[in-house]
Structure 1
């Protein structure tokens, strides 16, 4: 058991997240960098202010879209601290942690000191592991922080139903984010979980599968599109919530499917294409860090066309309201 934990705190954060998830998409903001790759906190603060003004359900700084994998500990402290400052208690701030459990605990303590509300436990580094090891990884991270945890299964991390029940028994583990899109397995997990346990659709460009995830009881999702076009993300979320299938189909056909087809051309585009789209909109996010690479001119031209299509759809929607 987490020696620091109090179950009421975890339940309070879980409830705030639940309310936020019903209200809007989950924002996974980018991290602003200068052209030389150094952290640009002034630009990041301006960018975060714009992200929060769009009223997402919660904000997840320093996660996959925020290039957690490339941040050192002091940069991480600064990024999470700015997110907490800008959020100012208005919505939950969930910071990413990862690597092995010992390093994850170091990041967890930094996030706690910076004022984060909860943590997203990113997949561990490099090795595959058995279910007992995956459970122990979560247990050891939970033992090192007061903050509630959301486990993230993707890549080499996949929980079975028995393992999920075991991590759900840890007092500060409040949810699971899924990036595998195996709906058969996910349905088994939702049925095995205790009442109130949170589930998130964490597939890349989650809107593509949002309708399918909702059918197995997982309507909440993270939105990379919110990182560069909150108005598009909000319009799709509204159409999905209102079960406007015609509008959802239009969004998928005209915007999301072309975006995903472009994203799938190059490894790492799930992040670098999002940053490129943000730059096209004049947002101060800068380039990606190695090992990612920024898109070339040909792909930027396609991205610009897709982005304009999405923004035109938003404009058309506003004219009809």
Structure 2
């Protein structure tokens, strides 16, 4: 005779004490607010361990609001009240203040309880401590920001890279076109850099690139000015709202700062120290002008400077 199978159907339980025990044994903090009086009719004892405030101190929604960080308070209260008035279940993340003055990230999950006629009877919900999750999210965001910065930064010289220039140049071009202000570019090439590498070696060549980049970056020190490495031994200065005279002043300042470094270059054809050649130009972009055509024009001026003997600035067509 086969043995009877056990009855696995759930057993109904009408003892409210059981439910309370279950609720109070979780990490989540249950609570209930009477809608008419806006007073707490229950909050789990776990609240004291988390925030330091005793359950008996949670009398009304004012106590809840007062214990929200002031930077989050108004937005959180306005949102929760509006959603509750609409009878919409919702959740809110905010920083709660502990009795000791610290703060804990809370996720409040709210359910609106309605009467048979549809009117709001009460709000019930759970508070969850999400501090560790928020800290992890903040760390991830910080790392993402750091990676984004690094992705726009030349790893060797520390100045902006070609990607940064290619991203910002079209933006500054459109701004200049819209505002009618001039935009200047200076393209820079280290003179006889191949000979420098052949003579001093690539390690010293990398140091030369770093020192030149520092001089160019220091020379283009305005809040909107950008120094970027285009690749190899070539750099560019992007100078928004800068006319031709001001652009030449910036270029001359960069050359002066480089001369002051007195970097030896025994194989240079322009002297005994490292020098640079520069092509410069200024434009107020019109509707028919093209950003890449203008950049190509500045490149040609750079090669005119090199053809004319190097260690100079060419800012006009020849």
* TM-score bracket for this pair, using the shorter chain length: under 0.3
Q: Pick the structure with greater CA Rg.
A: 2
TM-score (norm 1): 0.22
Query: Which structure: greater strand fraction?
Result: 2
TM-score (norm 2): 0.22
Higher relative contact order (CA 8 A, sep 6+): 1
